[in-house]
Chains A and B, each alone.
Chain A
C-alpha cells in the first residue's frame, strides 16, 4: 500500500519475479478492503498516504484485529528528518508501539526490500512459494 504509483509498480515487478502474489492498494481505505479480501501473509505499507498518519492508523487497525494480528507489517516512509518530521523508532519498544514489525526509510532499492520481505516471511510457518 502506497500512494506512490511508481514505487508500487516497480516493487510489484520485483516481488512477482520472485514468485510472490502481489495485490496493490493506493490508499489506506483501499488497503483495508484489500486486507479483508486477500488476507495477505505480509503487508508493505507507506506511513503517509492520503493523510500524514494514514499508515499508522491502518497498522493499528490491522494489528488490533484478531484475524490479522500476527500478519507482519513492513512500514515504509519517505518522511525523514530533513522534511521536519521523523517517526523512525529508536528501540524495539518504539517499534512495537508503532504496531509494525519492521520500519525502513525510502528510497530503498527493490533488492534490499526483497531481502526484508524474505526475512519477515521466513518466520511464518506453512508458507510456500508458488
Chain B
C-alpha cells in the first residue's frame, strides 16, 4: 500500500520528521518533509500528495490552519494529525477541519504504518469513487448529446418518418413527414394517426404492420396515390417495432416522395411508344411498296417500279438512321456522353465530315463550302460526339436545301468560345416550329418537307451532346432563304 505513495510530513521537531520519513520511505513511499506550516503549504502547492502527516503545534502557521489550506488545495488529500497533546477536543477539532485520523505522540513505527496504510487505502477508494462519479457524469452528458443528435438526424431526414404506438397514436412525426402529408401545424404527442394520414392506404399499411397476417413479417410497402393534381406520389414502408420479448409495440413508417421516379417512368413509356410509332411508319410503307410490286398492282412500267424501289430504299435508309440515332440516345442515357474528352482541332474534324457528306450533297446537287479562321485554339471534347453533331447539322443543311443550293461550314473563335456555323440556302424554318425544333421526334411538317425522310432525333441529339460539353446551340432562320445553326464550344 505504501509503495509509490507520495507523503508529506510537516513537523517542527526534526527527530520525529526524520524518524517518520525513514520508516515510510523504507516501505517504499516517496516522502517530502517540511519544518512548519508555511513550508508545508509551499510544498503542497508545487506537487500533489496522497497523504500528509501534520503536527498540530508549530511556529509559522499551526497544524489546524494548514489542514484548512490543504483541504482547499486537494479535497481528497488524506490528512493525519500527529499530536503530543492527545486530547479528545483537539482530535475532534482536527477531524472537523478535515483530518482523517490522528496519531498521539509517542507512537511506534507499527502504529504509524497501520494508520498511514489505512489512510492511503481510504485515499485510493476516494480516488476510485471520484473516477466512477466523473465517468457517470460524462456518460450522462454523452447520452443527452446522443439523444439530441438522433433527434437532429430524424428532423433533417429527407424521408418522412412516423412512429405509431399500438393504439394508433402518433408518437413521432418528423418535419419531412408533416410536409409530405401536408400537415401544416405542429403535432401533439399521441394524436390519432387518422389526423395525420388522410389516405386509407396509409392506415391500412400501419394496420398490417401492427397486426401482421403471417409469421416472419418484416416490412410492407405501398404506393400512396396522389389525391390532387400536384400532390406528390409517396412510397410508404411500414415495419413493426418490437420490445425485447418480440411483442409488437408499435409501427415505424418511412415515407418517400417518388413523384420524380413516376414522371421518369411515364416519360420513358411515352418515348418507347413514340419509337414504336416511328419504327412502324417506314416499315409499313416499305411493306406496302413491296406488296405493290409482288402483286403486280402497279402494272409493269419499269419507270414506275424503279420509282417505288427508290422510295423504298430511301425509307429503309431512314429506318437505319433512326436505329443509329436510337443507339446514340441509349449511349447518351447510359452516361457515356463526352466521356473520352481530348484536346482536338476542330478544323480537320470539320473537313473530314464535309468530305464524307460530299456524296450525299452531290446527289441533291448541293455544294459544300468551308471557311475556317487560321490558328483556331484546341477544344476539349469527345471526338466521336463532335463528329456526330457536325454530321447531323450538315445532313439537315443538305436535305432541307434547294436544288443547286449551298452549305457553308464556318469555324471561328474568340477568347471564350470556338464557334461552328452550318448555314444553308434552303427552305428555312417557320417561326411556329422553331421552339420545338430540338425536341425528340419533332419534325417540321409542310409541303416542302413531306418527301424528306428523317428521324426527328438529329437536332435533339446534337443539342444534348453540345450541352454535355457545356456548350450552346442556336438557330437563326429566314423562310425560303435558309437557316444557320451555330454551335458554341467553350475553350
- Residues of A whose CB lies within 8 Å of any CB of B are 3-7, 9-10, 13-14, 17, 26-27, 30, 49-50, 78, 82-84, 106-107, 110
Contact = CB atoms under 8 A, between A and B. Distances in A.
Contacts of B445: 3, 49-50
Contacts of A26: 447, 450
B270 A84 contact: yes
A17 B299 CA distance: 9
Contacts of A50: 445-446
B434 interface: no
A27 B289 CA distance: 22
Given A13-B298, A84-B270, A6 B311 contact: yes
B127 interface: no
B281 A78 contact: yes
Interface string B306-324: 0010010001000000000
Contacts, number: 53
Contacts of A10: 285, 288-289, 291-292
B227 interface: no
Contacts of B185: none
Contacts of A5: 450-451
* 6 A-B pairs with the lowest CB-CB distances in the bound complex, closest first: A6-B285, A10-B288, A82-B273, A107-B284, A13-B298, A17-B297
A82 B292 CA distance: 29
Contacts of B292: 10, 13-14
A26 B448 CA distance: 11
Contact of B273 (A4, A78, A84): A84
Contacts of A106: 284
B315 A6 contact: yes
Interface string B275-313: 011001100110011011000011000000000100100
Nearest to B283: A107
Nearest to B285: A6
B274 interface: yes
Nearest to B299: A17
Given A6-B289, A50-B445, A110-B288, A78 B277 contact: yes
